[in-house]
Structure 1
């Protein structure tokens, strides 16, 4: 029969206790902090913009309307054509006109321009709205330029000279000098241009030009005002 060599108690592995693993305090603190930050972060994110660090473009470039006006320098807004008959008579005292004297009728045709000066125009005289859809522009009064006589459309209608003047032309080699007639014609034509509606036409044409220019640059409404002409009342 078998022999019992030794007798030892056999531990029950199902009931044997396991050693406990200690969790570091730092991990516990970090977990607790994360649990607090999650709800707080959700509340902050509710009022933050969708892109809190997005970029915004601010356009501070010079308005194209001012640059376009400065490039114009001078705008010839209207042109007028005028005619005048200069009737000049030279009398010799105490001598009949048949003997000495001259009478000339000269038809002169010339043109004059009314222009607006843009050289002194700066940003202070051009006001643009915040949205860039309307503008006000202050301009100097249109100026009537010098008269240009057209020699092809200007000629002597009649010339009546005395005997002395005709003999002088026959014996001398000096041609007839009509420079004084042209000078008188220029003065008369300039006066006619000043008395005409050339300035009013220039203002109307300038407004129309600036309105079209501004609309091509995105400005829908334009108000243009002109200063009073030099020497005028008000």
Structure 2
């Protein structure tokens, strides 16, 4: 039978629809779905381009900073120290007539512990191990010379000087070379430190270190060394003034 030309033949345009049990054909992708991969690829290219440009800008800034063209940019979170100290106040001034003839540097290890009887150390205990370095000066005070201390014989170019015995100064700790090795605190001491600091403990350690160094200097022979240096200094001075015989003696301490 002849078909009308106005009737389409479904077998030509939809051949799968004639097959029994066949799945319907997948819908054609929309225009937005076709453009999505292109947009993703374009965004990646823009991102890469931006990163390259930023890297070039950073490299250029670092290069200009290296040649001191651009000012340096400091860390905004860097540590900052503010000195609010008050002006130095002059408390006293005095004239000295001392001749420092010798000095000695000493080091002492102070192990100071304070605890209570019948109380465990883990509860109440303060122990400080301190290394103290200090200097002791030995000097002759020319301000104590009497009128009869100097005898001059111009005819024979002789001079006799009687000086007071050398004196020893107080030990001066060098805080740059002194340091605390270890500290131990009991439980109750740590609780007390949370409310107030025990500065007296540090002061006692410093005083004990000075005392030990001063005592050690007494038996170190600094006084004999000071006498010998003072005698050499005066003999050299008066020989240059034309005296041939210079006798220096010291009073008994």
TM-score > 0.5, shorter chain as reference: yes
Cα offset for 1:176?
A: 4.8
Q: 2:183 aligns with which of 151, 159, 163?
A: 159
Residue 122 of structure 1: how far off its partner (Å): 4.5
| Maintained 8 Å contact 2:145/2:164 | no
- Say yes or no: does 1:172 pair with 2:199: no
Q: Quote the Cα distance in structure 2 between the aligned partners of 1:81 and 1:147.
A: 9
Tell me if structure 2 keeps the 8 A contact 1:132–1:218.
Answer: no
Q: How far apart are residue 173 of structure 1 and its match?
A: 4.6
Residue matched to 1:56: none
Structure 1 stretches of 5 or more lacking a match? 1-71, 230-234
Q: Residue 94 of structure 1: SS of its match in structure 2? A: coil
How far the C-alpha of 1:214 sits from its partner, in A, is 0.3
User: For the residues of structure 2 that align with 1:156 and 1:214, how far apart are their CA atoms?
Assistant: 49
TM-score (norm 2): 0.58
The answer to whether the Cα contact below 8 Å between 2:105 and 2:133 also exists between their aligned partners in 1 is yes
Give the Å deviation of 1:148: 0.8
Residue 175 (structure 1) shift: 5.8
Alignment-derived partner of residue 92 in structure 1 = 116
Q: Which residue of 2 aligns with 1:144?
A: 168
The question of whether the paired residues in 2 share the 8 Å contact of 1:107 and 1:157 is answered with yes
Q: Distance in 2 between matches of 1:85 and 1:189?
A: 10
- Tell me, what secondary structure is at the counterpart of 1:109? strand
Higher relative contact order (CA 8 A, sep 6+): 1
Q: Which residue of 2 aligns with 1:189?
A: 213
Aligned mates of 2:234, 2:223 — CA distance in 1: 16
Q: Classify the secondary structure of the residue corresponding to 2:143.
A: coil
Q: Deviations 1:173-209 (Å, cap 9, x if unpaired)?
A: 5365401111111111111111211100100100110
Separation (CA, whole Å) in 2 of partners of 1:74 and 1:90: 40
For the pair 1:129 / 2:157, whether they are aligned, the reply is no
User: What is the distance in 1 between the residues matched to 2:196 and 2:189?
Assistant: 13
Provide structure 2 residue ranges, at least 5 long, that are not aligned to the other structure. Answer: 1-95
Query: Offset at 1:159?
Result: 1.1
Pair 1:113-2:137 in alignment? yes
Let me know the Cα RMSD of the aligned residues. Answer: 1.7
- C-alpha contact 2:144 2:164 (8 A) present in aligned 1: no
Aligned counterparts, 1:1-234, within 5 A: 73-169=97-193, 171-174=194-197, 176-177=199-200, 178-229=202-253
Structure 2: distance between partners of 1:97 and 1:84: 25
Deviations 1:82-135 (A, max 9, x none): 111111111122111112212111111111111111113245211122425221
How big is the shift at 1:167?
A: 2.5
